[in-house]
Amino acid sequence: MHGTGPGRWPTSAARPRPTRRQFAALAAATVAGSVTACGSDTRSPNTPDGVLSGDLLVWTSFTQGPRAEWMQQMARAFEAAHPDVRVKIETFSWPDFYTKWTMGLAAGQVPDLSSALPTHVAELLDVDALVPLDDVIDQIGRDRFAAAALAEGEMGGANYSMPLYTHAQVMWYRTDLLDQAGLEVPSTWDELRHAAEVLTTDDVYGLSVPMGSGDMMATRFLNYYVQSAGERLLNDDGSANLTSQAVLDGIAYWVDMYHTVAPEGSINYDVLQQATLYYEGKTAFDFNSGFQISGVQQSSPELVEYVAAAPLPRLNDSDSLYGGETSNTPMIVWEASDMQEEAKAFLRSLYQTEEYIEFLHSVPGGMLPALSDISDDPAYLDDPVLEQFADTVEVIDEAVPLGTAIGMENGPTVQASILTSQGIVERLFQDIVLTGTPVPEAAQAAEEQLNSLFEMAGVEMEH
């Protein structure tokens, strides 16, 4: 779980700088005061103290209709309660969101409040772009949040992010296909390989193995295997781990799975292309969060009754379960904002019990509560999807406390962001598949490239 090991910086002077390759825009904005929030010049100079007012800009990645509609609903409710505030919600996909804020830092155009990913938070902490949210967390109830989730945005004893919802990666399968083939649910990597081979037909692939360099899917898949072997993709000293025997075995496993049970096009797949195959019933297995449920409901409702999830595979059936990857989707308030009081007030409003449960129900099973007491709230449990998929949601629930964001096992690190945003692991796989580069050679080159980027970022490795 999270701790206070390497990668936790007590002062800004001790923190590494962003990579020149990907985060040049951030380097130009290391002094947060030089950045202006989009809504920061809209406060009336005649506004009495204690009265919220101005134009509040909120960026979110909640692109699905029900979630986007909920955010608009919360904005209108907040405006009704605070007539001098106008709330504007802008929505972006995760890749677009990342580009938007990295460019925004350099251009002086950032929001007042936004969603983020834990790796985004690590980068933004590195350039002093966020404000602490301890006051909001304490008002809502610090003990209601998982300590590990709060730790992903912790620095110097302060919390700069707070999770809005959580979910974990698990193995999804089709119960009907397994039953027809007389197969048990796989619990090991070897069993998954066998089942995927048996279930691969002209109409269905056993499992798609995504390697698109514009996303982090190959990193995610490799991380599962490596964690099942008791290792991580980042060493304790913060350096990259792509050449240990466990990692080499994992790379070889996924290359073999690509060649034997996956569609050829998956070498370029991103997360949506990958998930869509499962949504449409074209893959027997997949790895994802509870968002798979709503995806199948929308694409292939006739298959919903055959959707289920199990823990991530292990090397041996007797091995303990592991987390693989837990995603705590945080909210952040930007340092450059002159609307910080309004931003925090709007943020607090999102956690009101009735409204918060409505948010979780917009994608039931996909978004699990970040507030521990909500998980047992009868109003939250009173949902037909949660009732139908109670066993599957329980599998995800049990995985949540076991994992972290990739590379964030010791807290927020720039290395974790570089690892998951640069596509180096993805190109490693493509190099092996497309050019026949031997696994050890490709892994060595990728490891050296990552460590070079870490050094360019100013990260001091602990030797």
- Write the secondary structure of 57-108 as one string of H (helix), E (strand) and C (coil): EEEECCCCHHHHHHHHHHHHHHHHHCCCEEEEEEECCHHHHHHHHHHHHHHC
Which two three-digit tokens encode residue 172?
């999804």
pLDDT band at 49 (very low <50, low <70, confident <90, very high): low
Structural domain count of the chain = 2
Q: Please say if the pLDDT value at position 16 is more than 50.
A: no
Q: How far apart are the first and last CA of the chain?
A: 22
Residue 276 lies in a domain: yes
Considering the domain architecture, whether residues 101 and 191 belong to the same structural domain is answered as: no
Q: Please say if the pLDDT value at position 8 is more than 50.
A: no
Could you tell me which of 87, 35, 13 has the C-alpha nearest to residue 56? 87
Average pLDDT over residues 113-141: 94
Which two three-digit tokens encode residue 169?
């990666």
Could you tell me which of 363, 397, 398 has the C-alpha nearest to residue 383? 363
Residue 384 lies in a domain: yes
Considering the domain architecture, whether residues 251 and 300 belong to the same structural domain is answered as: yes
pLDDT recorded at residue 368: 97
pLDDT recorded at residue 396: 96
pLDDT recorded at residue 35: 41
pLDDT band at 53 (very low <50, low <70, confident <90, very high): very high
Considering the domain architecture, whether residues 289 and 432 belong to the same structural domain is answered as: yes
Q: Please say if the pLDDT value at position 460 is more than 90.
A: no
Q: Using an 8 Å Cβ cutoff, are 145 and 398 in contact?
A: no
CA–CA distance, 385 with 271 (Å, rounded to integer): 23
Question: For the domain that residue 192 is a member of, what is the CATH number?
Answer: 3.40.190.10
Residue 413 lies in a domain: no
Residue 201 lies in a domain: yes
Considering the domain architecture, whether residues 232 and 102 belong to the same structural domain is answered as: no
pLDDT band at 123 (very low <50, low <70, confident <90, very high): confident
Per the structure, the complete domain to which residue 239 belongs is given by 170-322+422-456
Q: Give φ, ψ of 353 to 5 degrees.
A: -50, -55
Q: Please say if the pLDDT value at position 31 is more than 60.
A: no
Average pLDDT for the chain:
88
pLDDT recorded at residue 48: 47
pLDDT band at 119 (very low <50, low <70, confident <90, very high): confident
CA–CA distance, 168 with 390 (Å, rounded to integer): 15
Considering the domain architecture, whether residues 158 and 180 belong to the same structural domain is answered as: no
Average pLDDT over residues 259-268: 98
Q: Please say if the pLDDT value at position 127 is more than 70.
A: yes
Residue 414 lies in a domain: no
Of the candidate ranges 8-12, 289-293, 397-401, the one whose mean pLDDT is the lowest = 8-12
Residue 4 lies in a domain: no
Average pLDDT over residues 239-260: 98
Considering the domain architecture, whether residues 132 and 153 belong to the same structural domain is answered as: yes
Considering the domain architecture, whether residues 297 and 209 belong to the same structural domain is answered as: yes
Q: Please say if the pLDDT value at position 170 is more than 60.
A: yes
Residue 408 lies in a domain: no
Considering the domain architecture, whether residues 245 and 294 belong to the same structural domain is answered as: yes
Return the percentage of the chain with pLDDT > 70, whole number. Answer: 88
Considering the domain architecture, whether residues 308 and 237 belong to the same structural domain is answered as: yes
pLDDT recorded at residue 38: 55
Considering the domain architecture, whether residues 55 and 174 belong to the same structural domain is answered as: no
pTM of the prediction? 0.85
pLDDT in tens, 70-96: 999 999 999 999 999 999 999 988 777
Q: Using an 8 Å Cβ cutoff, are 189 and 163 in contact?
A: no
Sign, Cα dihedral of 233, 237, 238, 241: negative
pLDDT band at 46 (very low <50, low <70, confident <90, very high): very low
Of the candidate ranges 17-26, 103-112, 175-184, 221-230, the one whose mean pLDDT is the lowest = 17-26
Coarse DSSP helix, strand, coil percentages of the chain, rounded to the nearest 5 percent: 50, 15, 35
pLDDT recorded at residue 411: 82
Considering the domain architecture, whether residues 155 and 80 belong to the same structural domain is answered as: yes
pLDDT recorded at residue 191: 98
Which two three-digit tokens encode residue 14?
């001790």
Considering the domain architecture, whether residues 188 and 294 belong to the same structural domain is answered as: yes
pLDDT in tens, 321-347: 998 999 999 999 999 999 999 999 999
Residue 271 lies in a domain: yes
In terms of average pLDDT, the best of 4-18, 35-49, 352-366 is 352-366
